Amino acid sequence: MNYGPTQGPAQPPYNYKKARTGVAFWISIVMGVLLLISVIFNVVSFQPIFHGFRQQDGELVEQTDQHYGDPGACDRIAVITVDGIIVDEDYQTMFGGKVMGPVSFLKAQLLQARQDKNVRAVIIEINSPGGSVTASDTMYHEIVKFKKEKQIPVVVYVGEMAASGGYYIAAPADCIVASPTAITGSIGVMMTLIDVSGALQYLQIEVKPIISKGCDFKDTGSPTKKIGSAEEEYLREIVNRYYDQFVAVVHEGRCEKSKKQLATIADVVHVANGKIYNTQQALKKGLVDREGYFETAYEEAINRAGIASAEVVRYSQQPGGGLPFMFGGNSPVRPGGDINLLKVDAGSLGTLPRSRFLYMWQPGITETD
């Protein structure tokens, strides 16, 4: 009897899942190798760009302003930009580059204008509410030094605001032109002290500094304690000293240009009351010379330089290549373009705000009794 072919021993069912896992594993290996090769290729290919980013970091780029002047002319008018809150700090970008702060940027611009023999006059374009006393005074010093060394006209143009420290650095100019809607003035000094002692007492937190003998004023201005009358008087003396310096700077810069409106220290003190002024008020008080727009400042510059026309050049920072270049961040930049009165810095979240002496218009912060 024929029973058909022998079946043999039973075989386990075919494991489709295991087979699919094996294929996926090898595909992953191949893709990983290809990705690694791609990364290596891109690093090698973009090395010049990253290298360029490091080399160009902080350099200035010169650009011709096509809207004003005579592009291509031999004589030049250099526009120096002062924009934002005046602090003597440089900034790091998220990609490791550096952006010069207002003080460093001003120095770099003045240096470039000083080295260009074709620059016949300078327009300092200011848009600032002021800033720290020391940074403002440093910028003022650099402008005065530039005037003495270069011996060319310096015209200030205020498009939107040159208040407090912004006006401090404008004072030595040969002419100040302000737009019809500009704000200036705010001549004065302030120091804002923060007192969190009440909150610490509520939280039952005690801060007790150990101070060396004879140094009772060592922690003056500390936010963890109420300020005493002796300490307040001591700080007010310093503030008043900076105020006197501000008044002297305005008097020196404006006494001859203000048509006798600011001929004496007393005249300057009369307008140096912390008030801001619009352009029309500032004209009457002798704080500015002309009302107009940028072309008015350009006209003043070429007339004072004794030339018929000039090419207008501007200086900006170039962040260079690398990742900013790849993501469209390679356009020229200027520091302090945004006037932010509250700056969030992750590196300082664990510390209390520090007090500073300020030549600054900062509405919303007033002295209380």
The residue count of the chain comes to: 369
Mapped onto helix, strand or coil, the DSSP state of residue 285 is helix
Structure tokens at 61: 């780029």
Measured CA to CA, the distance from residue 323 to residue 96 in angstroms comes to: 10
Measured CA to CA, the distance from residue 250 to residue 356 in angstroms comes to: 22
Buried b / exposed e over 285-307, threshold 16 CB at 10 Å, is: bbbbbbbbebebbbebbbebbeb
Contact 116, 294 (CB under 8 A): no
Q: Active-site residue 309, yes or no?
A: no
Task: Check 218, 260, 275, 284 and give the catalytic one.
Answer: 218
CA distances from 182 to 107, 110, 157, 277 (A): 25, 24, 10, 8
Q: Active-site residue 164, yes or no?
A: yes
Task: Check 164, 186, 222, 258 and give the catalytic one.
Answer: 164
Measured CA to CA, the distance from residue 273 to residue 250 in angstroms comes to: 13
What are the counts of helices (DSSP H) followed by strands (DSSP E) for the chain?
A: 11, 14
Structure tokens at 262: 């600011």
> Which residues are 290's β-sheet partners?
177
Q: Tokens 């022998």 belong to which residue?
A: 6
CA atoms within 13 A on the CB side of 356: 17
> Which residues are 80's β-sheet partners?
124
Which residues are catalytically annotated? 164, 218
